Amino acid sequence: MWTSVRPWFEDKCPHRAAPLSEGRIEDDGTLLCAYHAWRFDGSGKCTSMPQASSRAEEERVKSNPRSCASVRPTMEAQAGGNREYVRDQQNCAEG
């Protein structure tokens, strides 16, 4: 029996390819990259880039598909805690 769907992030930030595994999950559920603090939601969409020089620049960069982290869904089994891929789902970088 499946209990939950969780995103699996490729260990590579779309900004400068830093390992996302060195980041952390914030209180709002976003994944924070440890290097320049870009944040990504569960679909891989960039939700924050604090070093942007203006709100307009931040919105322009966030809307670029190249700013999306690569994400694939996984499902977690109730017994044993094994995770398996269940389907290939589009993330924000794929439209």
What is the contact surface with ligand FES in residues (CB under 6 A)?
A: 13, 15-16, 18, 33, 35-36, 38
Q: Which is nearer to ligand FES, 34 or 77 (CB)?
A: 34
Within a 13 Å sphere around the CA of 17, how many CA atoms are in the beta-carbon half? Answer: 0
Q: Which is nearer to ligand FES, 11 or 76 (CB)?
A: 11
End-to-end CA distance of the chain: 31
At closest approach, how far in Å is the CB of 5 from ligand FES? 25
Name the CA dihedral angle for 74, 45, 65, 86, rounded to a multiple of 10 degrees.
10
At closest approach, how far in Å is the CB of 27 from ligand FES? 19
> Which of 36, 47, 35, 37 is CA-nearest to residue 71?
47
Q: Which is nearer to ligand FES, 7 or 35 (CB)?
A: 35
At closest approach, how far in Å is the CB of 90 from ligand FES? 22
